[in-house]
Chain A
Amino acid sequence: MARASQMRRRALWTGASVVVLVALWAALAVIADSRHVPAPFPVFQRIAEGIASRELPYHVGITLLRVVTSFGIAMLIGSAIGIAMGRLAGLDRFFDGWLILFLNMPALVTIILCYIWFGLNETAAIIAVAINKIPNAAVTLREGARAVDKDYHEMALVYEFGAWKTFRHVTLPQLVPYFAAASRSGLALVWKIVLVVELLGRPSGVGFQLYTFFQLFDVVGILAYAIAFIIVVQAIELLLLQPWEAAANRWRR
């Protein structure tokens, strides 16, 4: 019962903060009194129209698919690199410079080079986004692999766990907080880069739509798509990432 009332109070706070934000936006629109600063209502109306015409779900869906694919690839490769570097000092020393290079490579450079080298296609788009995210995942997971407790590994060795059981029951659970951190920052980073990739060279997706609206100076459309996509990403965080993290951290007091 205490938990239910706590949740209700939290929902109340969130609701109130959203209402205040929209009110501020409405006030700003009135003060600016410009075609380029629309009020909230026309934007919400545009979202509703977009949903009705199936155009908005189509573009948001395609963008989401690109986000999920490139995010998955980047997490897989980035984690593997990070864990290997965290475990093997020689590898770490050698590739540390490479990692710094890729960490500081502007996203735009990777995207342009991928399009030039691989052509204006889906593969190039996915690769470009993944390359941008891989170094971040690697750096986070490297910290995790370094922090792994040797005591538990000795225990696993004595009790003859073997490689797979050791990885699953000893190593992986210790990396969960690092996976969570990499996923959270990764999701936010990846979807922003996907939009740029779409803007530069894809005929579909939220980024492509934004490009079109930009050429028409259609601010209502820009805000409608931005808000729709923010809601989707927030839903992923609330419905997928947070429950997974809660389940993985059940053992913590």
Chain B
Amino acid sequence: MTALAVTIARKAYAGARDGGVLAIENLHFSVAANEFVCILGPSGCGKTTMLNVIAGLDKDFSGQIAFGESAARRRLAYVFQTPRLLPWRTVLENITLAAGSDPHSAANARALVAEVGLAGFEDAFPGQLSLGMQRRAALARAFAADPALLLMDEPFVSLDETAAAKLRALLLLLWRQRPATMLFVTHDSREAIQLGERLLLLTPSPAKLRADLRVTLSQEQRASPSAVEAFRTENLSFLAESRAPAEAPQYNSPMNRAFRP
């Protein structure tokens, strides 16, 4: 069953001339319900733009975002690249604000604080927490919203590898307990292999779909760096070779077009 069908024909940012900077062009994909999809692409290729379009924050694009029946009435959650916790509200308030106001949601929010390992920090303000803890709180807030679709934009960047690995394990645990369709954006292929059931590879800007592959690793294999590395060399070796030359011929770039007679 399809939970989400994304069709972005064109998304450009207003520029000085010639239609501006093209961020996304002809990007189509669909995601099954409760599937964990990792979207992998080089920095600046339009991944965040794509998530903002899907989240409905950016309505200035041509195309269509269709939600499946199950998702239509349920909520969407978004873990941003920075935690975006309200600094003037406590950890618990930040999480309960995103949850519904019924008693069940409030209880769920409280439980999530403990599940992400922030028990005892309910009344702390975000500024008193480390970045890792803030990211945990942002994760708890996302699941507290009881989302059908969860968008994540490099939610574990600028953490050291140990902390990031712990958070990845936590994310998988939460996702198994509270199934949701996941769209996890990253530029780190190892992270994508560890987490995703399916990888969508994007081209450099303007973003297009470059490859769509399944990750057929077991839970244990995902936890083992050597298995992840093996999968990476086998399936994603073209990334390392082609990244450098791929930057050069950008036929769709408005910059190039502007300089043609």
Residues of A near any B CB (own CB < 8 A): 151-152, 154-155, 157-161, 165, 169-170, 173, 176, 248, 250-253
Taking CB atoms and an 8 Å cut-off, the chain B residues in 92-143 that contact chain A are 93, 97-98, 125, 127-128, 141
Please give, as numbers and ranges, the residues of chain A lying within 8 Å of B76 by CB-CB distance. Answer: 158
Is the beta-carbon distance between B127 and A252 smaller than 8 angstroms?
A: yes
B248 interface hit (Cβ, 8 Å): no
Is the beta-carbon distance between A251 and B57 smaller than 8 angstroms?
A: no
B55 interface hit (Cβ, 8 Å): yes
Is the beta-carbon distance between B88 and A253 smaller than 8 angstroms?
A: no
A159 to B105, CA, bound (A): 13
A165 to B76, CA, bound (A): 18
Q: How far is the CB of A149 from chain B (nearest CB, A)?
A: 9
Is the beta-carbon distance between A173 and B86 smaller than 8 angstroms?
A: yes
B232 interface hit (Cβ, 8 Å): no
A240 to B127, CA, bound (A): 26
Q: 30 A-B Cβ contacts within 8 A?
A: A151-B82, A151-B84, A152-B84, A152-B86, A154-B52, A154-B80, A155-B78, A155-B80, A155-B84, A157-B56, A157-B57, A158-B55, A158-B56, A158-B78, A159-B75, A159-B77, A159-B78, A159-B97, A159-B141, A159-B145, A161-B97, A169-B93, A170-B86, A173-B86, A173-B89, A176-B88, A248-B88, A252-B87, A252-B127, A253-B127
Please give, as numbers and ranges, the residues of chain B lying within 8 Å of A154 by CB-CB distance. Answer: 52, 57, 80, 84
Please give, as numbers and ranges, the residues of chain B lying within 8 Å of A250 by CB-CB distance. Answer: 125
Knowing A154-B57, A155-B80, A159-B145, say if A169 contacts B127 (CB, 8 Å). Answer: no
Please give, as numbers and ranges, the residues of chain B lying within 8 Å of A155 by CB-CB distance. Answer: 78, 80, 84, 86
Is the beta-carbon distance between B145 and A169 smaller than 8 angstroms?
A: no
Contact of B88 (CB < 8 Å), options: A158, A161, A165, A251: A251
Is the beta-carbon distance between B89 and A158 smaller than 8 angstroms?
A: no
B41-57 vs A, Cβ < 8 Å mask (1 yes, 0 no): 00000000000100111
Chain B residue nearest in CB terms to A252? B127
Chain B residue nearest in CB terms to A170? B86
Please give, as numbers and ranges, the residues of chain A lying within 8 Å of B56 by CB-CB distance. Answer: 157-158
Is the beta-carbon distance between A251 and B87 smaller than 8 angstroms?
A: yes
Chain B residue nearest in CB terms to A155? B84
Please give, as numbers and ranges, the residues of chain A lying within 8 Å of B77 by CB-CB distance. Answer: 158-159
Is the beta-carbon distance between B98 and A159 smaller than 8 angstroms?
A: yes
A248 to B125, CA, bound (A): 13
Q: How far is the CB of A67 from chain B (nearest CB, A)?
A: 29
Is the beta-carbon distance between A169 and B84 smaller than 8 angstroms?
A: no
Q: How far is the CB of B93 from chain A (nearest CB, A)?
A: 8
Is the beta-carbon distance between A165 and B78 smaller than 8 angstroms?
A: no
Can you add 7 more A-B contacts, CB < 8 Å, to A160-B75, A253-B127? A151-B80, A151-B82, A154-B52, A158-B57, A159-B145, A165-B97, A253-B128
Knowing A158-B55, A158-B77, A161-B97, say if A169 contacts B86 (CB, 8 Å). Answer: yes
A165 to B100, CA, bound (A): 12
Chain B residue nearest in CB terms to A172? B88
Knowing A158-B55, A158-B76, say if A169 contacts B89 (CB, 8 Å). Answer: yes
Chain B residue nearest in CB terms to A150? B57
Please give, as numbers and ranges, the residues of chain A lying within 8 Å of B141 by CB-CB distance. Answer: 159
A252 to B128, CA, bound (A): 9
Please give, as numbers and ranges, the residues of chain B lying within 8 Å of A251 by CB-CB distance. Answer: 87-89, 125, 127
Please give, as numbers and ranges, the residues of chain B lying within 8 Å of A161 by CB-CB distance. Answer: 97
Chain B residue nearest in CB terms to A157? B57
Interchain residue pairs A-B with the least CB separation, the first 10 = A173-B88, A159-B98, A251-B125, A158-B78, A251-B88, A155-B84, A253-B127, A154-B57, A151-B84, A158-B55
A154 to B77, CA, bound (A): 11
Please give, as numbers and ranges, the residues of chain B lying within 8 Å of A248 by CB-CB distance. Answer: 88
A154 to B128, CA, bound (A): 23
Q: How far is the CB of A153 from chain B (nearest CB, A)?
A: 10
A56 to B188, CA, bound (A): 74
Q: How far is the CB of B161 from chain A (nearest CB, A)?
A: 27
Q: How far is the CB of A244 from chain B (nearest CB, A)?
A: 14
Q: How far is the CB of A174 from chain B (nearest CB, A)?
A: 8
Please give, as numbers and ranges, the residues of chain B lying within 8 Å of A165 by CB-CB distance. Answer: 97
Please give, as numbers and ranges, the residues of chain B lying within 8 Å of A158 by CB-CB distance. Answer: 55-57, 76-78
